Amino acid sequence: MNPLISPSNEKFGIEPYSLITIDHYREAFEHGMKTQNENIQAIVEDTAAPNFHNTIEAFDKSGDELQRTSLIFSALSESNSTEEIRKFETDIYPKLASHSDDLYLNAQLFQRIKTVYDHISTLETSDTAALHRLLNREQLSTVKKIYREFERAGAALSEEQQKRLRELNLKLSELELQFSQNLLHETNNTYVFIEDKENLTGLSDANIAAAEQMAKEQGKAGQYAFNMQRPSCYPVLQTCSNRSVRQKVYEAYYGRGNQQNEWNNTKIAEEIIALRIEKSKLFGYDASADMILKERMAKNPEAVYHLLDAVWKPALGKLQEELAAIQHAMEADGIKDEPMGWDIMYYLNKIKASKYQVDEQQLSQYFEINQVLKGIFYVAERLYGLTFKEITDEVPAYEPSAKAWQVADKNGETLAIFYTDYFPRDGKGAGAWMTEFRRQTYDAEGKRRIPIIVNVCNMTKPSAGGQPALQSIDNVQTMFHEFGHALHFMLHDVHYNAVYDVETDFVELPSQINEHWALDPAVLKVYAKHCQTGETIPDSLVSKLDAANQFGQGFATVEYLAASYVDMDLHTLKAVPQAFDIMKFESERLLSRGMPQQVYPRYRVTNFSHSLGGGYSAGYYCYLWSEVLDADAFEAYRETGNVFNTEVAARFRRFCLAPGGIDDGMTMYKNFRGKGPQIDALLRNRGLSR
């Protein structure tokens, strides 16, 4: 029995993840594609006139079995990748790309969808009352989105253009996968080895113990190893006093994908950009960003650049102040060189500790990971009335260190199942993200199907010597951020796949607004407990933390904006120049904007998976776009004098979290706020007010 095809007998219908094999995936993918093709054929052969139910809804549900397999495989391959899985990815993803093309380039299917779309478009202009009797708002949006999906997939192109589109889609699928697999290998298998413990002064005992264990696992007992997972390499950049060690780690981290080895991503990135340009031209666009942004809140590249430019100048000014302070601190240490990239995090932390008496290692004693999770759950309970019951031992596990939670709504009904997978391991991608094993929807009987949501992170794990999993401020905020994504999809209330997702530049609003509660003094009192004494974080430390919160924002903002500019600059190219050197292109574009030479963008092109691995192509700006929204949205709470105002939270849930993509992002935001967003709160929060 294939657990991806057969109904699950496990609690909540959760699949037995640990029993799934590559053969199960292969069979389930083939079964899912075959079933969807049969469903599509039934739609095409239906002799009844096309309508919402026999065409639009039927298409929307046609791939449910394939979706079941795809979601689980994607979630597990990102967090538990193996050589066997990576080999299977190279086989199955091109097949899935071809299958998608077969669906969206099916002329008979498109004609039926177009007939429904044209009919409702006519009603919308001539007989609005009849339209609303025929379809509700969600159904109307589903028709429009499915029609646009077909248009954007090439259904209206000529036969010759469609043939080339298939070739481009297949090649892009292969290249983006290769880019991501190369980066995964470079992140997990690039090591910096240090022989002498004295060269690690400043690192915590827990970090040193972890490095010693990593070296032992790599066959170099007695040495200290750091790979390019952030919990391993970032403490070196932030706290190690040895400048040469910081330089080795810095160059290894930012050099991922740009080494002279078989995992080099340079030529792959250049080819991806060239193919994306060619694809956009098939659809009549000059550049790929023009095509991509048409379906986002920004609508066009000019709007994106306008936002980036509005923040760039004040951020650069703040960064220059920070670099001057770093220069002064380096001179006090007897270093006469100008600050380099490997100096910035270290000296920002050092200055912060001196100026604000905020010591990151001291602070981490109050942020044990399970306590942080209590704070996260506390905020969700106060705002939305949700409760969380651990059920790790009652449901299937996919990873021994992951935990499972049953989430109940304020009426007591089960809202979702939530998995937390917080610790780094071999085969896990870098960074942090939210994913799904199952999406929220409604079954044929009208019963809500609960989603299964997962937060996957790379937090500091407990040490082999018994040290608890103590987190940095950055890690704490990341946990709140990813849980904001989880909340968004737990609270979804939609009936159709077509309206499940929101625009890319709206999707970070729910995650980023949740960060506002992470360091709120009232919330800190609930979860920030000393790992040894149990003492609540003292008011004096909270005050210092609040005062220091904006320090370093010049660097943080500039490195983020730099990556956003590079992403946009690549995707606004109308043609790839002759003898294109993508790394030189990155450097020259940033230098032309006044970027200090010693500062790299947050991701360099060869390790910029957001942009070149797919998903956030011409979209890395969305974090800033969403920050304008989240900063302005949090003002709605502040204006009431109560950051736990349940009436505001109820509006946010109703208009921004529950509807999925039924409405466009700006409509949802204005429904919540009563007006459009302003940039002032963002600049104030980052200490960049003009």
Would you tell me how many other CB atoms lie within 10 Å of the CB of residue 218? 14
pLDDT of residue 690: 56
Average the pLDDT over 621-639 and give the result. 96
Average the pLDDT over 542-547 and give the result. 86
Confidence of residue 589 (pLDDT cuts 50, 70, 90): very high
Does position 113 have pLDDT exceeding 80, yes or no? Answer: yes
What is the tens place of the pLDDT at every residue in 54-99?
999 999 999 999 999 999 999 999 999 999 999 999 999 999 999 9
H or E stretch covering 504: none
Whole-angstrom Cα distance, residue 313 to residue 308? Answer: 9
Does position 203 have pLDDT exceeding 70, yes or no? Answer: yes
Of 332, 359, 330, 357, whose CA–CA distance to 344 is shortest? 330
Amino acid at 487: L
Of 72, 62, 60, 17, whose CA–CA distance to 451 is shortest? 72
Percentage of the chain modeled with pLDDT above 90: 91
Domains and CATH numbers, the chain: 11-104+106-152 (1.20.1050.40), 190-254 (no CATH), 266-335+556-685 (1.10.1370.10), 364-548 (1.10.1370.40)
Structure token pair of residue 444: 């044929």
* Degrees to nearest 5, angle at CA 467 with 461 and 473: 55
Whole-angstrom Cα distance, residue 154 to residue 105? Answer: 6
Whole-angstrom Cα distance, residue 424 to residue 312? Answer: 33
Structure token pair of residue 218: 């790599």
Whole-angstrom Cα distance, residue 110 to residue 107? Answer: 5
> Distances from the Cα of 201 to the Cαs of 204, 345, 609, in angstroms?
8, 16, 33
H helices of 491-608, where?
509-515, 521-527, 539-548, 553-571, 582-592
Least-confidence region, from 124-128, 149-153, 287-291: 124-128
Structure token pair of residue 682: 């963002």
What distance, in Å, lies between the first and last C-alpha atoms of the chain? 64
Lookup result for tokens 């299917």: 109
Structure token pair of residue 363: 């602070």
pLDDT of residue 247: 98
Does position 484 have pLDDT exceeding 90, yes or no? Answer: yes
Structure token pair of residue 387: 């409760």
On whether the CB atoms of residues 233 and 226 are closer than 8 A, the answer is: yes
Structure token pair of residue 61: 């549900």
Looking from the CA of 677 toward its CB, the CA atoms found within 13 Å total 26
Whole-angstrom Cα distance, residue 685 to residue 688? Answer: 8
Looking from the CA of 63 toward its CB, the CA atoms found within 13 Å total 20
On whether the CB atoms of residues 303 and 203 are closer than 8 A, the answer is: no
Choice between 551 and 527, residue whose per-residue pLDDT is larger? 527
Does position 255 have pLDDT exceeding 80, yes or no? Answer: yes
Indicate if 482 belongs to the active site: yes
Structure token pair of residue 243: 């400048």
Structure token pair of residue 44: 């095409």
H or E stretch covering 434: strand 433-438
Of 303, 317, 315, whose CA–CA distance to 683 is shortest? 315
Q: How many helices, marked H, and strands, marked E, lie in the chain?
A: 28, 9
pLDDT of residue 188: 92
Average pLDDT, the chain: 95
Q: What is the pTM of this model?
A: 0.92
Residue in 57, 322, 368, 482 annotated catalytic: 482
Does position 632 have pLDDT exceeding 90, yes or no? Answer: yes
Q: In what order do the strands lie in the sheet with 403-408?
A: 387-390, 403-408, 414-421, 452-456, 433-438
Long-range contacts of 162-165 (CB under 8 A, 24+ apart): 162/105, 164/282, 165/101, 165/105, 165/279, 165/282
pLDDT of residue 464: 73
Cβ-proximal residues to 428 (8 Å cutoff; 6+ apart), any chain: 78, 79, 80, 81, 188, 456, 458
What is the tens place of the pLDDT at every residue in 383-421?
999 999 999 999 999 999 999 999 999 999 999 999 999
Average the pLDDT over 435-446 and give the result. 96
Helix, strand, coil percent content, the chain, rounded in steps of 5: 60, 5, 35
pLDDT of residue 244: 98
Q: Residue 377 in 3-state DSSP? A: helix
Amino acid at 69: T
Concatenated DSSP letters of 157-206: S-HHHHHHHHHHHHHHHHHHHHHHHHHHHHHHH--EEE--GGGGTTS-HH
Average the pLDDT over 579-583 and give the result. 95
Would you tell me how many other CB atoms lie within 10 Å of the CB of residue 651? 17
Whole-angstrom Cα distance, residue 93 to residue 180? Answer: 13
> Distances from the Cα of 663 to the Cαs of 243, 486, 501, 668, 685, in angstroms?
52, 20, 10, 6, 29
414: β partners: 408
Looking at residue 670, the DSSP 8-state letter turns out to be H
Percentage of the chain modeled with pLDDT above 70: 100
Backbone φ and ψ for 455, nearest 5 degrees, come out as: -100, 120
How deeply is 261 buried, as exposed, middle or buried, from its count of CB atoms within 10 A (0-12, 13-18, 19+)?
A: exposed
Confidence of residue 361 (pLDDT cuts 50, 70, 90): confident
On whether the CB atoms of residues 286 and 280 are closer than 8 A, the answer is: yes
pLDDT of residue 131: 87
Concatenated DSSP letters of 271-330: HHHHHHHHHHHHTT-SSHHHHHHTTSSS-SHHHHHHHHHHHHHHHHHHHHHHHHHHHHHH
Looking from the CA of 59 toward its CB, the CA atoms found within 13 Å total 29
449: β partners: 441
On whether the CB atoms of residues 75 and 429 are closer than 8 A, the answer is: no
Confidence of residue 587 (pLDDT cuts 50, 70, 90): very high
Structure token pair of residue 226: 């750091």
What is the tens place of the pLDDT at every residue in 121-142?
998 888 888 888 889 999 999 9
What is the tens place of the pLDDT at every residue in 636-686?
999 999 999 999 999 999 999 999 999 999 999 999 999 999 999 999 999
* Degrees to nearest 5, angle at CA 514 with 479 and 553: 80
Of 229, 223, 226, 221, whose CA–CA distance to 240 is shortest? 226
Would you tell me how many other CB atoms lie within 10 Å of the CB of residue 336? 8
Does position 545 have pLDDT exceeding 90, yes or no? Answer: no
Amino acid at 674: G
Residue 299 Ramachandran class (φ > 0 left, ψ -120 to 50 alpha, else beta): left
What is the tens place of the pLDDT at every residue in 312-333?
999 999 999 999 999 999 999 9
